[in-house]
Amino acid sequence: MPKAPSGWASWSEKRREEILTVDLPGGGDLLCAVFFPADYGIGMANLGIHYIYRALRELGASAERFFASPSPFRSVESDTMIERFPLVLGGISYEPDVITFAKWLELSGIMASREYRESSPRQRPLIGAGGALTYINPLPLSGICDFIILGDGTETVRHLVRVLRGGRSRDETLSTLAEHPSIFVPSLHLTGEHSLAAAKDDVSGDYGRSTWIVKNGVFKDTLLLELQRGCPNGCRFCALTGCFSPVRVRDVELVKRDIEKTLRAAEFSRIGLVTPEAGDYKYIDELLDFAEHKGKGVSFASLRVDNLTERMMKALVSGGSGTVTVAPETGDDRLRNICGKRFGNGDVIEKLEMAARIGARSAKLYFMIGLPGETREQVMSISALCGDIRLKTGLAVTASISPFVPKPGTPWAGEAFAGEKKLKVLFSLLSRSLRGVSGVKPRAAGIREACVEYAVSRAGTEASRFIARNVLSGISYKKLLQLSDRKETEAELSGLGLAFPRFMKGGA
Ligand code: SF4
């Protein structure tokens, strides 16, 4: 969460540590703040910010980045205060970001409530947002934003820039923005029937790689490279299949060309592959050979156990990473199968043994608790699996435990959320058990944060209005849940034309 300003720090050090990988025009006529509601290191690992910044600059707009920390109200590019920007665009990846965005606006002196801004005589910036959340449910942003870019944004911002250059009044600007099928303007679209749709851009264009190489931080010296958007695997808890389809695969020649182009612009030592599951990318071996030939290490965001190959593991280890990250989700084969992941504990152990033989030193494992129909024995099976892995592979194990959050747009959207009390009990049982296994470290994703995530994920306009008006006095997820009626949210979404099966029957 951003804090109120107390003095300020320049971004000059960060500027010195970044190298642009593309030629971008200087200057620009539209001053536009691109805000990412997390710290700089996390924000710079998000390719969406790289793409939108680049698209705006290529269109001649003067885009500058803002992050929630370390210096939240000054731009990275020039240390300019946020109050100088007539246009603010938030990059909203997941549900709690909505609250962070609203809070940041308030602390920077901009009213987070769209309706308050509309009735204020003061000069008001135009507030927009885009990002991964808009593919799933954009309504949590409707009380905050004047417009919301739905889905992929690199094409849609062309319309935005054209409209903003038109010298129109604020009302004319919003009504012209609303003519685009992927721009949701809450002041105009929340009554009547509309046919909005999240944009799904062609991925064979020029946007597929980092705009900057950063010399420090989590992804230092790393070229982020996108391989695929959407996932065909349809795991029941995951929104990627339902909301980000169709699957779009970038041709390997295009990806290789991206590497070559970046090499001509900047030094980097590693390639970070951005894709739902790297083993699904049909050209993975050819790409790994190419990276090796260029002397570059490779890192993977996540690896699916059932198609993890020796070739991928070798690339990972020789790239300097001694940690293999996989997501078994549970320690129970039957429950995992129900989740949609078709591999057993035996496969997890076999692949991690291979990793250890090749030179990996540690394993990071992602698990969920509070899954539909889960028994206590199934929760404790996580501990048994971690112990087995430690014993049979010798790898240091980090078990990252997150609560299951039923998300709109997934087959499990209508399943019950376990709730704070039950999750605390389950987590404390499990972490006690894990602490007793030598070489295994439990790590918890926040239970409170999961409750907020759940409440925001099903928020409609009423809950969004509540967030916008009350963010500085604190947002209770229980209050949000009271304001978020699943059926009303579903009706509001279908009025917008966002009609694919977001909420399923049953559950709370
Ligand atoms: S969990 Fe992974 S494999 Fe399953 S649908 Fe999501 S991205 Fe695809």
Contact 112, 140 (CB under 8 A): no
Residue nearest to atom 6 of ligand 1 (CA): 238
Q: What are φ and ψ of residue 187, in 5° steps?
A: -65, -15
Tell me how many degrees the CA angle 121-123-124 measures, rounded to the nearest 5. Answer: 105
| Residue 507 pLDDT exceeds 50 | no
Q: pLDDT tens, 90-139? A: 999 999 999 999 999 999 999 999 999 999 877 689 999 999 999 999 99
Q: Which of 241, 244, 277, 304 has most ligand 1 atoms within 8 Å of its beta carbon, as the pocket-test mutant?
A: 277
Of 303, 440, 450, the closest CA to residue 371 belongs to: 450
Separate counts of helices (H) and strands (E) for the chain: 21, 17
Q: What are φ and ψ of residue 429, in 5° steps?
A: -60, -50
What is the Å distance from ligand 1's center to 107 Cα? Answer: 37
Q: Which atom of ligand 1 is nearest to the CA of 280?
A: 3
The fraction of the chain above a pLDDT of 90, given in percent, is 82
pTM here? 0.94
CA 341 to chain centre: 22
Answer whether 202-315 and 322-457 agree in fold. yes
Burial 150-175 (b: 16+ CB within 10 A, else e): bbbbbbbbebbbebbeeeeeeeebbe
3-state secondary structure 177-208: HCCCCCEECHHHHCCCCCCCCCECCCCCCCCC
Specify burial of residue 204 (Cβ count, 10 A radius: 0-12, 13-18, 19+).
exposed
Domain boundaries, the chain: 25-189, 202-315, 322-457
What is the Å distance from ligand 1's center to 95 Cα? Answer: 19
Residue 391 makes CB contacts below 8 A (sequence gap 6+) with none
Q: How far is 252 from 254, CA to CA, in rounded Å?
A: 5
CATH class in words for 202-315: alpha beta
- Give residue 436's pLDDT: 87
| Residue 503 pLDDT exceeds 60 | no
The amino acid present at 74, given as its one-letter code, is R
Q: How far is 277 from 281, CA to CA, in rounded Å?
A: 7
Contact 98, 140 (CB under 8 A): yes
Q: pLDDT tens, 332-374? A: 999 999 999 999 999 999 999 999 999 999 999 999 999 999 9
Burial 348-378 (b: 16+ CB within 10 A, else e): bbbbbebbbeeebebbbbbbbbbbbebeeeb
CATH class in words for 322-457: alpha beta
Q: How far is 491 from 485, CA to CA, in rounded Å?
A: 10
Ligand 1 proximal residues by C-beta, below 6 Å: 231, 233-235, 238, 240-241, 276-277, 304
CATH class in words for 25-189: alpha beta
Q: Which of 235, 243, 307 has most ligand 1 atoms within 8 Å of its beta carbon, as the pocket-test mutant?
A: 235
Q: Which atom of ligand 1 is nearest to the CA of 241?
A: 5
